[in-house]
Structure 1
Amino acid sequence: MKVFDKLGALLGALPRALSSREEVDTLLEIAGRRRMPRLVLLTASDEDERLLLRGLFEIEGEPLTIREREGDADGRWSVVEIRGEKLALLKLRPGREAAGIFRSAHDEGSADAIVAFGSVGEEEALRYSILEMLHACDEGDVSPATLLLLAEPTGGSGLEARKAIKEDFARVGYSVYRVFVRSEGEVRGALAGFSLLSDALVELTELRIRIILCRTLPRAKKAREELSDRMIDAFSAIAGAVALTPIPLADAAIITPLQGVMVTLVGYVSGRPLSRKTLAEAFASLGVVTAAGFGLRLVARQAVKIVPGAGSAAAAAIALNGTKALGKAAKLYFVGTSGAPNPKAPKGGGTVARLNSGS
């Protein structure tokens, strides 16, 4: 998307004194240096693999479309396209060969996460393969985050299985993992349980792949909210810093485009299809609430620089708070908030009556 290039240009145009700010680096990590995620999918059967793919990537009520991009294949990694974004996947089955295949793929491009799915009773094979893959990483390698979701039959022993797996991981000194158990007798919907899995997948991976994961994982609602908040805070801080310049109107050429990029990126994170039409509708909708206030803030921001004694501090506060208000409005429009889902945003799947997680 052109918005990423525009963000890079805007951040590159900042005065040298501002370019080293932590918030600038945060936005560069999130959007400017973003890269294709590499995920290892470990499942015991073809059916489990299909369910895992659906649970991670399918939007409720819409058929999941995964396009294989053979021309972009990277060694053992299979490059796929989901909702316009590229992801590298390595699909494995538990067994002795899994660690060797993983090692070869890991050498070609470091895995960001191992995501495993199966039923209680299959956890031993899954656990063994996961640990073998982790042991295959060279000392000094950044080990991939590991997530395991177990489906527990009614009256099963999922909690005991989770405890045993956690103890095994802790015994070898491995801590970047999550283990989830869903009770099939207490949940509705085949895809129940994947919301927490999706949120954890985003949480445990590095910042530069989170924006793509948030866009392609429709059930990662909490993660989308958190990433949106992080971007809004960074944009707001930069706007406030730019407004400190004592020259009237000098900041408008940067702050106004920054705010437009911020709104577009929040829309991107939401996972909604973005086009000129949808963005125009979004800005029009936001404008009903924010345009008048934004115009007044722009005038006020410049006025306080001209009025003797007012100084730039007040202008900075106006720019920071105005940008944050616009960002929060965009977040509400595109992403919604916890407990009050936005009907325009992708819907989560299933209702979880009992879902246990551990870290």
Structure 2
Amino acid sequence: MTSDERDSLDGLGSIAQKLNEMLDALPGPVKNAAKKEIRELVSLVGDRRRPRVMVIGRRGAGKSSLINALCGAPMRPVGAVSPQTGEATWETLGFGNRQIEILDTRGAQEASKPVETDAADSAFDSIRLALSKKCPDVILFLAKAKEVGAAVDADLGFLDEIHRLVVSMGDVDEVKIVPVVTQCDELDPSDLDFSDPDKMKHVQEACAVLDRHLRSRPYVQPHLASSALPTSAKMFFHDEQINPRRDYRWNIDKLSEIIMDVIPNETRLEYVRVAQFQKIQTKLARKIVTVHAGICGAVGSTPIPLADLPIITGFQLSMVMAIAYISGREISRKTASEFLVAMGVNVGVGAIFRESARALAKLIPAAGNVVSGFVAATGTKAVGEAAILYFINQSSGGDVKRQLQAKLKEII
């Protein structure tokens, strides 16, 4: 992240503080609602940090492969015969300008030492040392599709111990467990066609077996984020990029969505940058648009003539920056401003919002600033949707501008 980019995003805190003070003059319910939106925005953007994902599973369950599939990059080497992952240490994995922290642990029930160095005698001791330094945001529990019924009780006992250790050592309210059935591509028929009814029958059977074992663990069950999710992490790289003709990943996008839903708010912005799945990028971007629209609507309702324009413009700018950031792009305040100008959105448009609201208020005298708030919120939402189309869906600038201008005409 460049200093320009970091300063621009982190500057949201001071803007939010000033807005908080201004909102003190509003009626209680309106003020409280707006301040809640501001707190959420600061949590998402201002307090953001790298997500921490812990991966647990038996040797050969495909832990390193799943990490690579989630990140869409060859982040971890994959062991073919001997256990590969050694000492359980928090590792910051990065590619481009995106980063995530992974605790890729030694396989449970290993019969031999791993290839990589580990001074600890057991996987549990190795993990205990890592957890004394940092607590995970989510735990992925992996079970190989062909082995879900083989000695799985011992694996779940290991998971039970690890989760209790996490809770005892971390200052957290909850850390969810996501159970994942891996290497479903190896189930008969051993091809990559997951529309095949025979293959899906075997996939469903594997998931049912793991779910049955999970339900038998009274401690583990309340901490599960979902039922067992079947996946395939099979893919191939060319020059450290996914070969689009050899990308056979299946349900990894669903897994990514589950993870995003259960990790802390302050980690989501960085997580979706890493995962690079359009569905979860759009989901978080729309959440950010909703928060910004709520804030701008509250500002538009304040009885301070024209005082809201710089604030609304500033929050629309931060909204565009956050959406561009989600898409994985390097972006500065200047770049975001240029996008708004290119879309025909500037202080002049903000003035039109205000004047249109005043005109409507003449027709509905009792509405007053409520109309202004509605126009500010709806206009901000339209700008946010345009940013999603441009940065995440990668629509052409001309098409996005035409759609946005048509929407603004409806509003004003």
TM-score normalised by length of structure 2? 0.68
Match of 1:113 in 2: 138
Stretches of structure 1 that go unaligned for 5 or more consecutive residues are: 67-74, 345-359
Q: CA 1:31–1:78 in structure 2 vs 1: closer, same or farther (change >3 Å)?
A: same
State whether structure 2 residue 123 is matched by structure 1 residue 98.
Answer: yes
Native 8 Å contact 1:235 1:323 kept in 2:
yes
Which structure dedicates a bigger proportion of its chain to strand? 1
State whether structure 2 residue 276 is matched by structure 1 residue 218.
Answer: yes
Decide which of 27, 35, 41 is 2:55's aligned counterpart: 41
**Aligned mates of 2:232, 2:135 — CA distance in 1:** 33
Decide which of 93, 112, 135 is 1:80's aligned counterpart: 93
Native 8 Å contact 2:57 2:108 kept in 1:
no
| C-alpha distance after superposition, 1:104-139 (max 9, x if no partner) | 323322111122456313443754543332243446
Q: Which moved more, 1:315-324 or 1:42-51?
A: 42-51
Match of 1:150 in 2: 182
**Aligned mates of 1:326, 1:85 — CA distance in 2:** 25
- Secondary structure at 1:81 match in 2: strand
AA at the equivalent of 2:182: L
Match of 1:260 in 2: 317
Q: CA deviation at 1:202?
A: 0.6
**Aligned mates of 1:162, 1:253 — CA distance in 2:** 54
Match of 1:353 in 2: none
Decide which of 374, 380, 389 is 1:317's aligned counterpart: 374
- Secondary structure at 2:183 match in 1: strand
Native 8 Å contact 1:78 1:88 kept in 2:
yes
AA at the equivalent of 2:304: I
AA at the equivalent of 2:163: L
- Matching of residues 221-232 of structure 1 within 5 Å: 221-232=278-289
AA at the equivalent of 1:174: P
**Aligned mates of 2:222, 2:300 — CA distance in 1:** 46
- Secondary structure at 1:34 match in 2: coil
The structure with the largest alpha-carbon Rg is: 2
**Aligned mates of 2:208, 2:61 — CA distance in 1:** 26
Q: CA 1:92–1:311 in structure 2 vs 1: closer, same or farther (change >3 Å)?
A: same
Instruction: Detail structure 1 runs of 4+ shifted over 6 Å in the superposition.
Output: 302-308
Native 8 Å contact 1:42 1:126 kept in 2:
no
**Aligned mates of 2:317, 2:40 — CA distance in 1:** 18
Decide which of 7, 10, 14 is 1:5's aligned counterpart: 10
Match of 2:37 in 1: 23
**Aligned mates of 2:260, 2:105 — CA distance in 1:** 21
State whether structure 2 residue 272 is matched by structure 1 residue 190.
Answer: no
Match of 2:296 in 1: 239
Q: CA 1:300–1:32 in structure 2 vs 1: closer, same or farther (change >3 Å)?
A: same
Native 8 Å contact 1:3 1:265 kept in 2:
no
Native 8 Å contact 1:241 1:316 kept in 2:
yes
Q: Which has the higher contact order (CA 8 A, sep 6+)?
A: 1
- Secondary structure at 2:182 match in 1: strand
State whether structure 2 residue 225 is matched by structure 1 residue 180.
Answer: no
Match of 2:211 in 1: 166
- Secondary structure at 1:51 match in 2: helix
Match of 1:300 in 2: 356
Q: CA deviation at 1:320?
A: 1.1
**Aligned mates of 1:183, 1:257 — CA distance in 2:** 43
State whether structure 2 residue 161 is matched by structure 1 residue 132.
Answer: yes
TM-score normalised by length of structure 1? 0.77
**Aligned mates of 1:93, 1:77 — CA distance in 2:** 13
Stretches of structure 2 that go unaligned for 5 or more consecutive residues are: 1-5, 25-30, 77-87, 110-121, 189-198, 235-245, 398-412
| C-alpha distance after superposition, 1:173-214 (max 9, x if no partner) | 3343332214799xx733233111111111121211111101
Q: CA deviation at 1:11?
A: 0.5
**Aligned mates of 1:49, 1:94 — CA distance in 2:** 9
Native 8 Å contact 1:42 1:114 kept in 2:
yes
| C-alpha distance after superposition, 1:240-299 (max 9, x if no partner) | 1112222211111211111111111111112233357854663354338x9985552144
Decide which of 69, 72, 89 is 2:102's aligned counterpart: 89
Match of 2:264 in 1: 206
Q: CA deviation at 1:6?
A: 2.1
Native 8 Å contact 1:248 1:302 kept in 2:
no
- Secondary structure at 2:222 match in 1: coil
AA at the equivalent of 1:8: G
AA at the equivalent of 1:160: E
- Secondary structure at 1:93 match in 2: coil
Q: CA deviation at 1:27?
A: 0.7
- Percentage identity across paired residues of the two chains: 23
Native 8 Å contact 1:54 1:191 kept in 2:
no
AA at the equivalent of 1:13: K
- Secondary structure at 2:62 match in 1: helix
Q: CA deviation at 1:319?
A: 0.9
- Secondary structure at 1:314 match in 2: helix
Give the aligned length.
325
Q: CA 1:285–1:151 in structure 2 vs 1: closer, same or farther (change >3 Å)?
A: farther
Native 8 Å contact 1:134 1:143 kept in 2:
no
Q: CA deviation at 1:79?
A: 2.6
Q: CA 1:136–1:150 in structure 2 vs 1: closer, same or farther (change >3 Å)?
A: same
**Aligned mates of 1:47, 1:286 — CA distance in 2:** 49
- Secondary structure at 2:132 match in 1: helix
| C-alpha distance after superposition, 1:29-52 (max 9, x if no partner) | 211222221111235558934422
- Secondary structure at 2:92 match in 1: strand
